[in-house]
Structure 1
Amino acid sequence: HCTDCEGEWMLSPSGTDLKIVREHGKGDAAVRGEAKQILLYLWGRKIENLDFFGDEEVIKAWGEIGP
């Protein structure tokens, strides 16, 4: 959930790919914050001012998908 502009994205693994769709959906976990901070989190940066909801293992895994 993006807090600085309109935007919600649903991410899901698809084989060796990552499927990303711009829509509201119910997932196992959610991250809320500014768009650039969410992107940095997905690339493995430790961002302090994000809110996390849901399954902690899923949240940890999404925070480690970047190179």
Structure 2
Amino acid sequence: MSEKIEQTIGRNVRSLREAQHLSKVEFCLMAGLSRPYLNKIEAGEANISVKQLDRLAQSLGIDAAELLR
């Protein structure tokens, strides 16, 4: 069974955040998210909107499509 899109996004957010040496707190401040919500995103448990996907990507300095790969 293939990975769900929420899990793909969460894995990519975590990987890219860590690659940029950003703590969860730092990233939450940049992206305007609460830490519990970021935890859900990174765990693949949050069904985020396209607007939120774009905000995450902008905070990471990437195109939103990168989070879907």
Give the TM-score band, short-chain normalised: 0.3 to 0.5
Q: Which has the higher strand share?
A: 1
Q: Which has the higher helix share?
A: 2
Greater C-alpha Rg: 1
Q: Please, what TM-score do these two structures have when normalized by structure 2?
A: 0.34
Q: Please, what TM-score do these two structures have when normalized by structure 1?
A: 0.35
